[in-house]
Amino acid sequence: MEAVLSSYLAHLAVEEGLAANTLAAYRRDLRRYLEHLRDLGRSKIDEVGEADVLAFLSALRQGDGERPALVASSAARAISAVRGLHRFALREGMAGHDPAHEVRPPRRPRPLPKAISVAEVEALLAAAGPADAPLTLRNRALLELLYGTGARISEALALAVDDLEPDQVRLHGKGGNVRVAPLGTYARQALDAYLVRARPLLTPRTPALFLNARGGPLTRQGAWEVLQNAAERAGIDGVSPHVLRHSFATHLIDGGADVRVVQELLDHASVTTTQVYTLVTVDKLREVYAAAHPRARQ
């Protein structure tokens, strides 16, 4: 098996061109795998069965006296290395079967979307400022629109004045899809203030809704600076346009909105993508339960 391992690592280094750090990680994982196989009494690669590979996965996840348990992402990397080793051995005629073919790496936990609280959203919007300066009115309108509709930043910046209607806005989403999003009172009032008292003063040179100081369309970088400046004044860290989109969805779910309605509002192709926001709410419920129920404390 040492010969198979050496050939496989050489293949990864020369033909696949793996980076040195990645190659070192593969070498460590596969050395551990071969040690596991020797403990099971396997001396040849053709003696390895699927049960042996599954036992290795179990050992990775549970740990032992010498090594701690691995998280799902690290165990997945190790099993991917093992699967690659057996696939290589079969392809090169070094083995007659692939015992790892049906062994799937553990699923990496899907990171929950970051959302800020309603109070933090209100502080962020207030930090755009109540002043009547044209750019301040623009900034407030942009932030109200992002949070009030859940629009992607690209959708907000692609808006033309003609996309606005009294109580809704046409958003141009991915793949050329156009959807209608309702406008709440706060977003509508902020947009009206910007359109009437600010946008004409920016000497528009484009039909784009949101303008920069020279009358051209506001860029992604410009929109990012608007948000970061407001977040800094509000004392909130880690805010991005997508965090506002996540907050929009999370607050709707918290308020009792049906997940399929949120799916439509977010322009998600599959409801599975939207269901991650229900996990955020479940986590919140667990926190409240743990803090409030007299029998929840350990």
* Verdict on whether the full-model pTM lies above 0.75: no
Q: Which residue of the set 242, 260, 286, 289 is catalytic?
A: 242
Q: Is 251 a catalytic residue?
A: no
Q: Per-residue confidence at 109, pLDDT binned at 50, 70, 90? A: low
What is the per-residue pLDDT across 253-269, written as a single tens digit (0 to 9) for each?
Answer: 888 888 888 888 887 76
CA dist list (Å): 113 to 29, 52, 251: 31, 37, 12
Residues 119-146: what's their mean pLDDT? 91
Q: What is the pLDDT of residue 46?
A: 92
**54 and 136 belong to one structural domain:** no
Q: Phi/psi of residue 27, each to 5°?
A: -60, -45
Q: Per-residue confidence at 298, pLDDT binned at 50, 70, 90? A: very low
Does residue 198 surpass a pLDDT of 90?
yes
Candidate from 63-67, 102-106, 160-164 with smallest mean pLDDT: 63-67
Helix (H) or strand (E) holding 168: strand 168-172
Q: Which residue of the set 140, 245, 246, 251 is catalytic?
A: 245
What is the per-residue pLDDT across 41-78, written as a single tens digit (0 to 9) for each?
Answer: 998 999 999 999 999 999 998 887 778 888 888 889 99
Q: Is 152 a catalytic residue?
A: yes
Domain membership of residue 219 (yes or no) is yes
Candidate from 14-23, 85-94, 235-244, 261-270 with smallest mean pLDDT: 261-270
Q: Phi/psi of residue 41, each to 5°?
A: 85, 20
Residues 228-244: what's their mean pLDDT? 92
Candidate from 104-113, 141-150, 192-201 with smallest mean pLDDT: 104-113
Domain membership of residue 111 (yes or no) is no
Does residue 284 surpass a pLDDT of 70?
no
**77 and 162 belong to one structural domain:** no
Query: For the chain, what is the domain count?
Result: 2
What is the per-residue pLDDT across 3-17, written as a single tens digit (0 to 9) for each?
Answer: 999 999 999 998 888
DSSP state of 112: P
Helix (H/G/I), strand (E/B), else coil: 267: coil
Q: What is the pLDDT of residue 19?
A: 85
Domain membership of residue 40 (yes or no) is yes
**35 and 148 belong to one structural domain:** no
Cβ atoms within 10 A of the Cβ of 210, count?
24
Domain membership of residue 231 (yes or no) is yes
Q: Is 268 a catalytic residue?
A: yes
For the chain, the straight-line distance linking the first and the last C-alpha, in angstroms and rounded, comes to: 49
Q: Which residue of the set 174, 220, 260, 286 is catalytic?
A: 174
Q: What is the pLDDT of residue 258?
A: 83
Does residue 297 surpass a pLDDT of 60?
no
Q: Is 174 a catalytic residue?
A: yes
Q: Which amino acid is at 101?
A: H
- Contact between residue 79 and residue 105 where contact means Cβ atoms under 8 Å apart: yes
**176 and 68 belong to one structural domain:** no
Which domain does 143 fall in, by range?
A: 118-290
Q: What average pLDDT is seen over the chain?
A: 88
Domain membership of residue 126 (yes or no) is yes
Q: Which residue of the set 86, 172, 251, 268 is catalytic?
A: 268
Q: Give me 286's structure tokens.
A: 């667990």
Q: Per-residue confidence at 295, pLDDT binned at 50, 70, 90? A: low
Q: Is 245 a catalytic residue?
A: yes
DSSP state of 179: E
Q: Which residue of the set 83, 152, 172, 199 is catalytic?
A: 152
**28 and 124 belong to one structural domain:** no
Question: What is the distance between the alpha carbons of residues 73 and 251, in angstroms, rounded to a whole number?
Answer: 30
